Structure 1
Amino acid sequence: MAASKVTVDVEGRTLALSNLGKVLYPETGTTKGEVIQYYTHIAPVLLPHLADRPVTRKRWPNGVAEDSFFEKNAPRGTPSWVRTAELPSPGSTKDRDTVVYVMADDLATLVWLANLAVLEIHVPQWTVADGVATNPDRLVVDLDPGEPANIIQCCQVALLLGELFDEAGLPSYPKTSGSKGMQMYVPLDRGVTDDDVSAYARGLAQQLERDHPKLIISRMERAARGGKVFIDWSQNNAAKTTVAPYSVRGRSAPTVSTPVTWDEVEKAARSTAKTRLPLQFDIDDVLGRIDDDGDLLAPMLDQAHPLP
């Protein structure tokens, strides 16, 4: 096992990293040190997608076989150099309720979080400017399969939804969730509220449910989702967060929420796989993809489109 604690310099910040040899993924033997190494290597493409977004973290201090917890507030002992933002809690009924969010703007903060056994990083569809939350700068839909539906059916739905976005003149970008489903992003120009975006996304989901009732559901009832793909339009609510691109997931293996091409989505939608499902990527796969193709979501960062 690696030394229990080592001190490292990360872009001028001194960090004490502990228990690097601790196994966080028993099935694969993946250690905390390997998770930190992944986040270090993926940082150049991950950080632009976290810029100015408050991060909600999901931590597994004793590995994925043990309990986890979500964390919004900056934890006790947060270094003074970590950027934070105190904001009203979006889901609160009391205006005075606030959350002191961590803003993961740099590599040192990312490494510090990974050392706390933060595996998953979740972000909202809005950013912080001058200490205030902005209007959303993107639309997101979460495609959630109800068993026995899986990623294959999610890809079929993504293609249908992509056609609607194309007809509206909106570019859309798919990524896997790193778990069972996938998400799609549309970059927006901040000219509308989260309620406007939610209403638009809900309308598209309802339209596709009417057209493909055996494949798609837009309603929240879990009992009705069996064998269908739920188009979760509610992720656009200001109180909701979505797993960030390139975030590791707390599954049995260190899978990653991975941007994919539309060619990959089309191929997966035609798949007949029964065991090894398509579009399943772990930390090693993703680093290889970045070396080959760069960040497939990078074009989205420079776009802003009005909502129809």
Structure 2
Amino acid sequence: MKPMLPTLTPDPPEGDMWLSEVKYDGFRGILQIETHESMTLTSRNGTNLLPHFPEIEQYIRQMLEDDMLPVPLMLDGEIVLLRTALSSEFRALQARGRMKNQKNIHRAASIRPAVFLCFDLLHTGSKNTKDLPYEKRKEALLALFSRAGLPTTPSPHHRALVQMIPFTNDHHELLKNVYDQEGEGLVFKKKNSMWEEGVRSSDWVKVKNWKTCSCFITGWESGNDYFYVGVYKGEEIVSLGAFHFGLNPEEKRSLKHIIYENHTGKDGTFFSISPAITVELHYLERYDDGLREPHFSRFLFSEAPESCTEERFRIDELSLPGSISVTHPEKPIFEGISKLDYLHYLRKVSGALLPFLHGRALTCIRYPHGIFGESFYQKNTPEHAPDFVKTVRDDSIDYTLCHAIDTLMWLGNQLALELHVPFQLQGRDDVFEIAFDLDPPDRSAFPLAVKAALILKDILDRLHLRSFVKTSGNKGLQVHIPIPRGYTWDDTRLFTEFIARYLVSTHPEEFTVERLKKQRNGRLYIDYVQHGPGKTLVSPYSVRGNNEGLVSTPLLWEEVNRDLDPSRFTMEAVVKRFREIGCPFSGYYTAGEQQPFKEVMTFLRSNG
């Protein structure tokens, strides 16, 4: 069965007959369940995708076994690797789709499971729903998901591998949020539209979240009518690849004629031209070898080629809210790393970083001149902060609350490199997480941190407590345990002190709880005191102010072994890893309420 397809349009449609939903970057698929044994998930070109995504098949089969889904059933949706609630990671999904080796496929599935995001109900039980209006189909889909206990909005933190894409009539707010999270765009659907097999319909239209860049033409491949573009980096030209789409027939004829008449070199069917023709392109993202889905937008007749620079391209690539401007992008903040590099890092990991800042009073360490100058702690939000920066007053201090991309990028432009957060959410008295800071005497003693973390995990596993581990960004490791709501500092202190002293009692030559460094004698310091009222810990994905600009990086527990090297986790490496494996702390905020912490505390109190 061929899916119904939307028509691409540059602008959102007007009128109250339209509803909108998020367009995710993934593999379109129609899930058909004929019987409990017969199931396919068919791509646009007719391929069964389930062999490439066995985790989805296994999840659905378990649901069928538990009688949570009606049979037969037909759902329309998208296979994705969620980056945030409103965006997905297409390159990593492509890599999954190209895998042939079943061992590699299953390993990738265990590290970062794909999710089937469903947006349409085509058949359920004995009822064919394709002829129902879109709004009615969506209501039936919502009822189906609610009965099955499946998520009715996408979340990378939910363990369900089948989730639903809802609709809204608030297009403007949804589009803003999609832009902020660098999602692919929106699909607008008429309320009364029917599902039509194999049709590209004007009843469904998609609006993409294009990035925009200014560049100049460097050549024309006459064999396929691709036009090559670039920007200046100093005196050198940096290639941005080539574009083919977007020119109308007259524009294409004129451009080809100008290049043919003014070319400076010819190699077979390729004509080179000196920078002179400046254009604006739309694209989705930049790859190493060019732009993804580049489309011609317009000629920039008033702009000189010299204005098209790599720095300008990279600033535009950030897609910052209009309220944010970048100052001194070229400023070095680490050896070989500029302020603009740091802003790109924040933008690319914002989907993982922001959830750990949300609702927490932020303490920053600012480096106005990078690591080459003095740094200072900042708790109070400066008076010159823009209006969109939210604050909360606590103990005579106006702390910054970082809930959105505009505040995060403003902090980045202020060169707030280190972001430290408390263990409580603002407005609540209870503690929602526990953390152990495993601090070896120096980088060479990092294996001690690995040993301590693995012993700690074994203890927590035996207590049936799910734990998460990250590098500190310096020389140690930090183990986090999300806990249910309602516990006090006295409760958590009882737990942390018991665990820390147990570790020391079983390994007194290697671990200590001694606060004075001079009395630790080369042992690893298990810092449980740092978990307390008024204390903070560096946030996951925060950069640290050391010479290398290392990142406090969430890890998979399987990575915590003798080969683990904390110096590997640079900003560039962490961006690459986030794209490839997602966030190892995914599920952190849903794990807390499922922890059997009550039983642990009952045991500790009864044996105290």
Alignment of 1:245-284 (within 5 A): 245-268=540-563, 277-278=565-566, 280-284=568-572
State the SS of the aligned residue for 2:455: helix
1:23 corresponds in structure 2 to: 332
CA distance in 2, matches of 1:20, 1:287: 19
2:291 corresponds in structure 1 to: none
State the SS of the aligned residue for 1:195: helix
Alignment of 1:91-240 (within 5 A): 98-128=396-426, 132-147=427-442, 150-240=445-535
Larger radius of gyration: 2
Q: 1:297 aligns with which of 570, 575, 585?
A: 585
State the SS of the aligned residue for 1:235: coil
CA distance in 1, matches of 2:499, 2:561: 20
Q: Which amino acid aligns with 1:113?
A: L
1:74 corresponds in structure 2 to: 381
Please report how far the alpha carbon of residue 144 of structure 1 lies from its aligned counterpart in structure 2 after TM superposition. 0.6
Distance 1:23 1:149, change over 3 A: closer
Alignment of 1:5-16 (within 5 A): 12-16=321-325
CA distance in 1, matches of 2:316, 2:387: 17
CA distance in 2, matches of 1:7, 1:289: 24
2:369 corresponds in structure 1 to: 62
* Residue 37 (1) aligns with residue 344 (2): yes
Please report how far the alpha carbon of residue 87 of structure 1 lies from its aligned counterpart in structure 2 after TM superposition. 1.5
Is the contact between residue 124 and residue 240 of structure 1 (CA under 8 Å) also seen in structure 2?
yes
Q: Which amino acid aligns with 1:39?
A: L
Q: Which amino acid aligns with 1:162?
A: K
Q: Which amino acid aligns with 1:86?
A: R
Greater relative CO (CA pairs within 8 A, separation 6+): 1
Please report how far the alpha carbon of residue 13 of structure 1 lies from its aligned counterpart in structure 2 after TM superposition. 4.2
Is the contact between residue 366 and residue 414 of structure 2 (CA under 8 Å) also seen in structure 1?
yes
1:94 corresponds in structure 2 to: none
1:91 corresponds in structure 2 to: none
CA distance in 2, matches of 1:82, 1:10: 19
2:72 corresponds in structure 1 to: none
RMSD value, Cα: 2.1
Aligned residue pairs total: 285
Q: Which amino acid aligns with 1:56?
A: T
Is the contact between residue 85 and residue 102 of structure 1 (CA under 8 Å) also seen in structure 2?
yes
CA distance in 2, matches of 1:21, 1:149: 34
Looking at secondary structure, tell me which structure has more strand per residue.
2
Please report how far the alpha carbon of residue 133 of structure 1 lies from its aligned counterpart in structure 2 after TM superposition. 3.5
Deviations 1:259-305 (A, max 9, x none): 1111111344xx7xxxxx45630001101111111010012121122
State the SS of the aligned residue for 2:554: coil
Please report how far the alpha carbon of residue 8 of structure 1 lies from its aligned counterpart in structure 2 after TM superposition. 10
CA distance in 1, matches of 2:318, 2:416: 20
Q: Which amino acid aligns with 2:331?
A: K
Give the TM-score taking structure 1 as reference length: 0.87
Unaligned runs of 5+ residues in structure 2 are 1-233, 235-310, 601-608
Greater mean alpha carbon deviation, residues 79-88 or residues 169-178: 79-88
Is the contact between residue 419 and residue 539 of structure 2 (CA under 8 Å) also seen in structure 1?
yes
Is the contact between residue 253 and residue 282 of structure 1 (CA under 8 Å) also seen in structure 2?
yes
Q: Which amino acid aligns with 1:106?
A: A
Give the TM-score taking structure 2 as reference length: 0.45
Please report how far the alpha carbon of residue 191 of structure 1 lies from its aligned counterpart in structure 2 after TM superposition. 2.1
2:574 corresponds in structure 1 to: 286
Q: Which amino acid aligns with 2:399?
A: Y
Q: Which amino acid aligns with 2:576?
A: G
1:93 corresponds in structure 2 to: none
Please report how far the alpha carbon of residue 195 of structure 1 lies from its aligned counterpart in structure 2 after TM superposition. 2.8
Is the contact between residue 172 and residue 186 of structure 1 (CA under 8 Å) also seen in structure 2?
yes
Deviations 1:230-270 (A, max 9, x none): 110012212110000000111111210001111111344xx
